[in-house]
Amino acid sequence: MILDSRIRVKALAILSGLEKAEFKYLKEKLRTTDGNLSSHMKKLEEAGLIRVEKAIVKGKPRTYYSITEKGKKVLMEYLEEILREMSGKH
């Protein structure tokens, strides 16, 4: 399952409140390494949950991420599933 990683869930949650965020910003917020974040973001992109936008700013490459409608839906379903499971246990 795509959301079986804490970092991927948190990345989607951060992006759900934003129009877009740069790689560096997400790295700071998620307190992870470049390589680790890259591989998680790649998986989210392949699943169609996020969009990637690359730009050159003052000669330096920058990568921006934004959440897709599918990403928002998947995150919502994930949270609803947790709540459903919990209500089933009680």
φ, ψ (nearest 5 deg) of residue 64: -110, 145
The answer to whether the CB of 30 falls within 8 A of the CB of 11 is: yes
Does 56 help bind other proteins (rule: CB under 8 A)?
no
Beta pairing partners, 50: 67
Does 25 help bind other proteins (rule: CB under 8 A)?
yes
The answer to whether the CB of 50 falls within 8 A of the CB of 15 is: yes
Does 14 help bind other proteins (rule: CB under 8 A)?
yes
Q: Which stretch binds other proteins (CB under 8 A): 20-28, 33-41, 44-52?
A: 20-28
Between CA 56 and CA 63 the distance in angstroms is 9
Does 58 help bind other proteins (rule: CB under 8 A)?
yes
Closest distance to other proteins from the beta carbon of 89 (Å): 10
Q: Contact positions toward other proteins, by CB under 8 A?
A: 3-6, 9-10, 13-22, 24-25, 55, 57-58, 62, 75, 79, 81-83, 85-86
